[in-house]
Amino acid sequence: MLDQRDVEHFREHGYQLHKRQLFSPEQLDRLEMIFEEHLADKGDKLSDELDTPHFRDPRLLEFLLSHEVLDLVEPLVGPDIALWTSHLISKAPFTGRATPWHEDSAYWEGRLSDYDRIVTVWLALGPSNRENGCMRVIPGSHHNGFSQYVPTDQTVQTFHAEIVGVDEDQAVDFELERGECSLHDGRIIHGAKPNLSSVRRTGHTMRYFPASVKVMPVEQNAGWKIWLARGRDTAGNTYEP
């Protein structure tokens, strides 16, 4: 688990690098096998568009609801934890698109009753570094609220819009080895450069929110699935069994 100094760093800066193996070698191999299956079966989707794969593949719940991950996020989320979403990410060598500067919370605006203490775990399934387009964050930007966005070119960017006026000199690169992970606040400004190296960048994101937060009855949440991962619900949400 994170110690008090880690928690204080996360609260102030909006992120924490966890430079220890999150899962056992056997678990990591099993997760990577599942990832490769999804990548092989992606059809017309791009390799960086494998969103909410656990909706279709319950094998991923072994990892998403594991004590290894929940113990890691509990000091940040609290004892009552709900699973919000997950994502499999693959930036192919030389062709992986850039991820524009954005806040995850901007894509959920209106879908939740509160955006405080939403935490994403970004698990590296292979090396993630400056050369192959690792994630970058602007420390402390999670304190600012929603930012102003402008349209992007999605042939070279993964999203349709990006934040204007970001001071990239402040960016911190999340360089990770296979099996290590980072944690970031759902409101922090972050992005990634394109993969210009010969090494694929692969990761699995796991995102959690306090079970005191209400998932709002809006159209964007129709059919959305959430799980009570630990503790109890105090928001009146409906969870998967």
pLDDT in tens, 180-217: 999 999 999 999 999 999 999 999 999 999 999 999 99
| Whether the predicted pLDDT of 1 surpasses 80 | yes
Nearest Cα neighbor of 186 from 96, 59, 90, 73 is 73
What is the pLDDT, as a whole number, of residue 154?
72
Q: Per DSSP, what are the bridge partners of residue 58?
A: none
* Mean pLDDT value of segment 57-68: 98
- pLDDT-derived band of residue 95, with 50, 70 and 90 as boundaries? confident
- pLDDT-derived band of residue 124, with 50, 70 and 90 as boundaries? very high
Q: Which of 46-60, 62-76, 186-200 has the lowest mean pLDDT?
A: 46-60
Domain ranges (residues) in the chain: 4-230
Candidates 2.60.120.620, 1.20.58.1880, 3.40.250.10, 3.40.50.2300; correct CATH number of 4-230?
2.60.120.620
> What's the one-letter identity of residue 83?
L
| Whether the predicted pLDDT of 228 surpasses 60 | yes
